[in-house]
Amino acid sequence: MENLRLEVAEQIALVTIDRPRALNALNSATLRELNDCLRELEQRKDVRVILLTGGGEKSFVAGADISEMVNATPAEGRAMALLADEAFCRLENMPQVTIAAVNGYALGGGCEIAMACDIRIASENAKFAQPECGLGILPGFGGTQRLARLVGKGRAKELIFTCDRIDAQEAWRIGLVNKVVPQAELLDACRAMARRILKNGGYAVTLAKQAINAGLDTDLANGLKMEADAFALSFSTHDKKEGMTAFLEKRPAELTDF
Ligand code: CAA
């Protein structure tokens, strides 16, 4: 891979988007590499948490690649949006838990890729914005959809219409990020959260993730039905038997399903 780095250790994959000359902006080649990398990772049973970050200290992802879009036709613009949709929907629905380690600028497509992750942890220097309307376009990698779902319709409209850049604390205040930590501690904080997740039943976490994602795209009655189905499925697992037996026997559980 030319624009991505992948390292796997202790059930945690670290995917780094690394295009320093463009502050990790997403061009089509990077989106394709990301999609291929995620397709491979989603099959891996030895990976249960995926951390996504940007190379260098300044930028997570500075957006879609403007130099690629400047002369693009509407058809090419659509193709780019669909390419990103495929990669970001894959990211959103990975069986693994995904954590964006936002280590700097998360602008446009950078904010959008972070929002496709389950959890966002930002360093103190992170900056978020959807600057597309200032470029004469609109967020095209999911921003109009995922931002409103995360921070509410009013705040999403304000951010998208004004193109205001907000810092990590403000992103935390409005619920765009889960946590803010000093930059030097960012990956450690992500790994620490990953380890807390890894202690729990892997398959149960995946089922919970699927129920949350699917439930947010439907009404409450159907969401509750999907939850009941997932709950029933969890009763068929080794982890359910082991987790509950261990509790009753007052010993640590050995949860292994994924
Ligand atoms: N696309 C292409 N190149 C980019 C880029 C992008 N999104 N962001 C930065 N770069 C390039 C710059 O052109 C520059 O290249 P050169 O050295 O060859 O000139 C290099 O990265 C360094 O950038 P700057 O010199 O601008 O660095 P800075 O520290 O002064 O500013 C920044 C950093 C605030 C992130 C600024 O680069 C910036 O505003 N970038 C664009 C951010 C943006 O508008 N993103 C949204 C893109 S549109 C989008 O994402 C659509 C969508 O919905 C998917």
Using CB atoms within 10 A of its CB, is residue 114 exposed (0-12), middle (13-18) or buried (19+)? buried
User: Which position has the token pair 């697992």?
Assistant: 237
Write the burial class of residue 250 (CB in 10 Å: 0-12 exposed, 13-18 middle, 19+ buried). Answer: exposed
Nearest atom in ligand 1 to 134's CA: 44
Structure confidence at residue 175 (pLDDT): 98
Ligand 1 pocket test: pick from 60, 65, 66, 88 the residue with the most ligand atoms within 8 Å of its Cβ: 66
pLDDT given at position 190: 98
Compute the distance from residue 56 Cα to the ligand 1 centre, in Å. 14
Determine which residue's CA is closest to atom 37 belonging to ligand 1.
62
Distance 61 CA to ligand 1 centre (A): 9
Q: Tell me the C-alpha to C-alpha distance, in Å, between residue 57 and each of 2, 15, 18, 24, 127.
A: 19, 15, 11, 11, 12
The pLDDT of residue 85: 98
Pocket lining: 55 vs ligand 1, CB cutoff 6 Å? no
Q: For the chain, what's the residue count?
A: 258
Q: Which helix (H) or strand (E) holds 9?
A: strand 4-9
Q: What are φ and ψ of residue 253, in 5° steps?
A: -85, 150
26 Cβ inside 6 Å of ligand 1: no
Tell me the CA–centroid distance for residue 23 and ligand 1, in Å.
Answer: 7
Q: Do the strands 127-129 and 12-17 form a parallel or antiparallel pair, or are they unpaired?
A: unpaired
What per-residue confidence (pLDDT) applies to 86? 98
What pLDDT sits at residue 34? 98
Q: What is the 3-state secondary structure (H, E, C) of 99-152?
A: EEEECCEEECHHHHHHHCCCEEEEECCCEEECCHHHHCCCCCCCHHHHHHHHHC
DSSP state of 209: H
pLDDT of amino acid 239: 98
- Mean pLDDT per 10-residue segment, the chain (258 residues): 97 98 98 98 97 97 98 98 98 98 98 98 98 98 98 98 98 98 98 98 98 96 98 98 98 96
